[in-house]
């Protein structure tokens, strides 16, 4: 790690993004608290769905822009859009109509969509390939600490001050992020194939073709689509609603904070392990996510929900470090923006639909049935992808070598 910490560019990137993520942890807890103070759970679901939908759609554009222009500049634009979203929530949360808050959520979602591929594609540009796992693990671990601290602080703000105050703190963290990104000034990697909207569509289509040729990568991205729809997206909304109804004020903040702490532990482990079959290791780490519906179906004590959240996020973090490092090695640097943009798009394309629809279905049809279906879908989809050549190792399989006939 000392090699990384001597690199000023990495340290600027690392600390700036960790600071912004701490603010995001505050908002992750404070925004549902703020909206639920003035509106019902359905209102919250629609706002979260709008943000997720815009974020998923604009990741593809974010990927193209990240391969054309400076990735640090793309993240600067993303931060400015996110700041606009925070300002809108602060101004409209109490009395604003649903359509206005949906518009604010879309602005914030566009910022998130532009950010994701640019951030993920920046790391291979900043550090040497030999340091990639350690850099990804340290970056992920620090962000988990920031998210955990932010979520816990968000719970404290809600219980003792106000949700609005937590959002104002997040405004300050974005200022730090902007300063470090302007210092970094990453150069453009590609440059694009020409000006105009058509050339950007053409580059996006090239990204689809590049990923499609790697069947194992496509399969794992589609695995994410299924799992987000049936489990992760509805769980994000239902957890806030159930915890708010079942426990004392601020309980959702503790559940979230403990989950982020688990993700920190997973990131630290991921920086040290070198499995021979990282794909299998990653899928085994993801499997405990099937425990998440238990907390929604049964009236478990808060400590047990926190314990399950910790274990689940250890596994999720392990999975992501190994998965993202595998993608970095499998695809050329000039395509990383589009690859990560497509990865985020395919993973979260059904996120807004799930957040808007599935929670209502789960409540009306019964949480028990939802829990059983969600757990089965997650387990089956987790291990089914390992049947695709290359998924076990997260690498492109070598072409089979047929014996040459001797005449």
Instruction: Tell whether 298 is covered by a domain.
Output: yes
Highest mean pLDDT among 46-50, 72-76, 210-214, 307-311: 307-311
Whether the CB-CB separation of 37 and 157 falls below 8 Å is answered with no
Q: What is the mean pLDDT of residues 145-149?
A: 74
Is residue 23 over pLDDT 60? Answer: yes
Instruction: Tell whether 217 is covered by a domain.
Output: yes
| Structural domain that includes position 337 | 10-184+196-387
Number of folded domains that form the chain: 1
Cα dist. 62→81, 109, 120, 309 in Å? 13, 12, 11, 31
Is residue 193 over pLDDT 80? Answer: no
Cα dist. 75→11, 65, 131, 164 in Å? 16, 10, 23, 25
Instruction: Tell whether 407 is covered by a domain.
Output: no
The predicted structure's pLDDT at residue 310: 93
Cα dist. 160→155, 156, 157 in Å? 9, 6, 5
- Which 8-state DSSP code applies to residue 400? P
Phi-psi region of 191 (alpha: psi -120 to 50; beta: other; left: phi over 0): left
Whether the CB-CB separation of 33 and 169 falls below 8 Å is answered with no
3-class secondary structure for 318-362? HHHHHHHHHHHHHCCHHHHHHHHHHHHHHHHCCHHHHHHHHHHHH
Nearest to 264 by CA among 346, 391, 179, 150: 150
Instruction: Tell whether 392 is covered by a domain.
Output: no
Instruction: Tell whether 232 is covered by a domain.
Output: yes
3-class secondary structure for 9-59? HHHHHHHHHHHHHHHHHHHHHHHHHHHHHHCCHHHHHHHHHHHHHHHHHHH
Instruction: Tell whether 372 is covered by a domain.
Output: yes
Is residue 177 over pLDDT 90? Answer: no
Q: What is the largest CA-CA distance in the chain?
A: 85
Is residue 283 over pLDDT 90? Answer: yes
Residue 373: pLDDT band (50, 70, 90) is confident
The predicted structure's pLDDT at residue 204: 64
Whether the CB-CB separation of 41 and 237 falls below 8 Å is answered with yes
117-121, 128-132, 298-302, 303-307: segment of lowest average pLDDT: 128-132
Q: What is the mean pLDDT of residues 175-186?
A: 84
Instruction: Tell whether 399 is covered by a domain.
Output: no
pLDDT digits (tens, 9 = 90+) for 238-277: 777 788 788 877 787 788 778 878 887 887 787 777 888 8
Q: What is the mean pLDDT of residues 41-65?
A: 78
The predicted structure's pLDDT at residue 402: 41
Is residue 407 over pLDDT 50? Answer: no
Instruction: Tell whether 266 is covered by a domain.
Output: yes
- Which 8-state DSSP code applies to residue 299? -
Whether the CB-CB separation of 160 and 69 falls below 8 Å is answered with no
Phi, psi of 384 (to 5 degrees): -65, -35
Nearest to 277 by CA among 397, 115, 391: 391
d(CA 208, CA 117): 14
Residue 404: pLDDT band (50, 70, 90) is very low
> What average pLDDT does the chain have?
79
Is residue 200 over pLDDT 70? Answer: no
Q: Which residue has the tokens 């004020």?
A: 249
HSE of 266 in the Cβ direction (CA atoms, 13 Å)?
29
pLDDT digits (tens, 9 = 90+) for 124-135: 778 776 677 777
Q: Supply the DSSP string of 215-272, one letter for each residue.
A: HHHHHHHHHHHHHIIIIIHHHHHHHHHHHHHHS-TTHHHHHHHHHHHHHHHHHHHHTT
CATH value at residue 323: 1.20.1250.20
* Percent of the chain clearing pLDDT 90 (strictly above): 7
């Amino acid at each position: 790690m000392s090699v990384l910490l001597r690199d000023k560019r990495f340290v600027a990137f690392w600390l700036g993004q960790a600071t912004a993520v701490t603010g995001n942890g505050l908002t992750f807890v404070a925004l549902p608290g703020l909206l639920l103070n003035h509106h019902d759970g359905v209102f919250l679901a629609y706002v979260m769905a709008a943000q997720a939908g815009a974020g998923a759609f604009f990741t593809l554009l974010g990927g193209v822009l990240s391969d054309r222009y400076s990735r640090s500049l793309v993240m600067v634009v993303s931060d400015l859009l996110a700041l606009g979203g925070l300002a809108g929530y602060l101004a409209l949360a109490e009395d604003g109509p649903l359509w206005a808050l949906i518009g604010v959520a879309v602005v914030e979602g566009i910022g998130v969509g532009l950010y994701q591929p640019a951030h993920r594609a920046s790391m291979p540009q900043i550090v040497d390939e030999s340091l990639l796992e350690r850099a990804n693990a340290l970056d992920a671990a620090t962000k988990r600490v920031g998210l955990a601290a932010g979520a816990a602080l968000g719970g404290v703000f809600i219980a003792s001050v106000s949700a609005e105050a937590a959002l104002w703190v997040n405004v300050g963290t974005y200022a730090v992020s902007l300063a470090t990104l302007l210092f970094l000034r990453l150069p453009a990697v590609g440059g694009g194939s020409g000006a105009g909207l058509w050339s950007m569509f053409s580059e996006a289509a090239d990204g689809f073709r590049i990923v499609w040729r790697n069947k194992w990568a496509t399969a794992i991205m589609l695995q994410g689509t299924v799992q987000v729809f049936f489990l992760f997206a509805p769980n994000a909304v239902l957890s806030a609603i159930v915890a708010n109804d079942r426990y004392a004020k601020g309980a959702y903040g503790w559940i979230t904070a403990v989950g982020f702490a688990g993700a920190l532990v997973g990131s630290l482990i991921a920086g040290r392990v070198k499995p021979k079959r990282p794909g299998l290791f990653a899928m085994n780490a993801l499997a405990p996510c099937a425990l998440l519906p238990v907390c929604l179906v049964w009236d478990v004590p808060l400590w047990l929900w926190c314990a399950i959240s910790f274990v689940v996020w250890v596994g999720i973090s392990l999975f992501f470090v190994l998965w993202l490092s595998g993608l970095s090695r499998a695809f050329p640097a000039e395509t990383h923006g589009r690859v990560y943009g497509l990865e985020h798009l395919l993973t979260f394309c059904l996120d807004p639909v799930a957040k808007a629809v599935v929670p209502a279905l789960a409540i009306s049809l019964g949480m028990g049935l939802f829990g059983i279906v969600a757990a089965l879908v997650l387990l089956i989809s987790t291990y089914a992808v390992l049947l695709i050549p290359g998924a076990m190792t997260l690498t492109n399989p070598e072409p089979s070598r047929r014996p040459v006939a001797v005449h």
